[in-house]
Amino acid sequence: MSPTPKPPHWWNRWSESEKPASPLEPSEASPQEVVVPPDHPLPVAARWWGSHAVPEGGHLHLRIGPLDLTAQRNPHEWRIAWNRDDTFEDGVAKAELAVVDHGSETEANLERFVFSHTPKRLTLRPRLADRPVVSRPITPLHIPAGEQVVVFISSPLWVAFEVGEEGRLLKDLPIVRPSDTWFGPSTLEGEVCYAGRTRATLALDPPPHPPERATIPTLVRNESRQEMLLERINLPVPLLSLFADQQGRLWSEGLTLVREGDGDMASLHIGKGPPQHAGQAERVAPPRHEAGHRILARAFSALFG
């Protein structure tokens, strides 16, 4: 496998803090191994990832959300082609997957990956974004002093193509390409992130779930003496794993964000393992970057804007 990349520059600004209590922790020990089931009885719309044996000359075709892509295996190259549907309506549960002996490529972007002999095993793996996501509730939330609330935030997914038993990464691309945004107090201090919009629901939506998004359960606690206006949250998604529940819904670890007193500090706690809302869940993707500490402290403005 490719060597683990070094954490990005924004990670170096975190520091360790005391652990806040969180209701988002799982009741059992979290799984340590990444599980990618090759065959699963759930429909593709619920579970589109996994490992597949593709014959020479064969195609794997995946249509998920607005993304239409094809991976073709030839004797000495894998060809990955994709296109996006600009008319796709966000929130529509749509996913189709097929492995066929013969087929045609999607007429759009094409990349070729050459080998002395191509491995037949192709694994599709969901991933969270490769940068932090600044998520804005469609309607801001007012959190009175001393109150806390669990907010369910959806975050866009990437799909990674890995080949061989060792899982060599060929391509990693967003299912829905988020727009870029700058997050920071000035143009000289801050970081490039992705911009996201969320309904910030306080209860889980019933199935079907959009297969191109993951759910991040986030406990926000206001320990100050003033009302807190939640207009945006800077989510460190490259530090989060992905878990699949029994219905095929994808989750990250739970997050706990605490406004500490009336000062300018806040803390963020990354839970361990799948959140309790996910029930019996298995890990299907590791974090892009391993967090040195699961308890993080930062300026309030660096988390909430």
What gap in Å lies between CA 143 and CA 151, rounded to an integer?
A: 12
What gap in Å lies between CA 243 and CA 200, rounded to an integer?
A: 20
Q: What is the pLDDT of residue 171?
A: 97
Provide the residue ranges of all domains of the chain, joining segments of one domain with +: 9-35+129-157+176-304
Q: What is the pLDDT of residue 284?
A: 97
Q: What is the pLDDT of residue 99?
A: 83
Q: What is the pLDDT of residue 194?
A: 97
Q: What is the pLDDT of residue 187?
A: 82
Alpha helices (H) along the chain? 300-304
pTM of the model: 0.82
Per-block mean pLDDT, blocks of 10 residues, the chain (305 long): 47 42 48 39 65 94 91 96 80 72 71 97 97 94 96 96 95 94 84 92 87 95 93 93 95 94 82 94 95 66 68
The Cβ of residue 205 has, within 10 Å, a number of other Cβ atoms equal to 14
